[in-house]
């Protein structure tokens, strides 16, 4: 089985209040020098059979229609080395 990872992030122009809250908390917790935080989602999909172009196309379709809200989020799809 192969693992395909779909990372979903808010588009750069979309405000990320959760990321901002984490960014403000980090210095108070002793983690200085971090200038920005953006929070996202990671989906790990276990794929039966080979991960060919057709399988990746189906996963991209799933990401576009179900895993990400493409109005406010971008996504990437990649095969993870195992």
What value, to the nearest 5°, has the Cα angle with vertex 64 and ends 60 and 65? Answer: 120
The Cα-based distances of 25 to 18, 54, 57 in angstroms read 11, 43, 39
Q: How far is Cα 67 from Cα 24, in angstroms, rounded to an integer?
A: 28
Along the 82 residues of the chain, how does pLDDT read in single tens digits? 899 999 999 999 999 999 999 999 999 999 999 999 999 999 999 999 899 999 999 999 999 999 999 999 999 999 997 6
d(Cα 52, Cα 1) in Å, to the nearest integer? Answer: 13
CA neighbor of 44 nearest in space, from 10, 73, 7, 76: 7
Q: Whole-prediction pTM value?
A: 0.89
């Amino acid at each position: 089985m192969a693992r395909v990872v779909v990372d979903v992030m808010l588009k750069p122009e979309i405000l990320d209040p959760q990321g901002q809250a984490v960014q403000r908390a980090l210095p108070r917790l002793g983690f200085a020098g971090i200038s920005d935080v953006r929070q996202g989602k990671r989906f790990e999909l276990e794929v039966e059979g080979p991960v060919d172009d057709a399988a990746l196309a189906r996963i991209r379709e799933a990401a576009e229609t179900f895993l990400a809200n493409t109005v406010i989020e971008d996504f990437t799809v990649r095969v993870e080395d195992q």
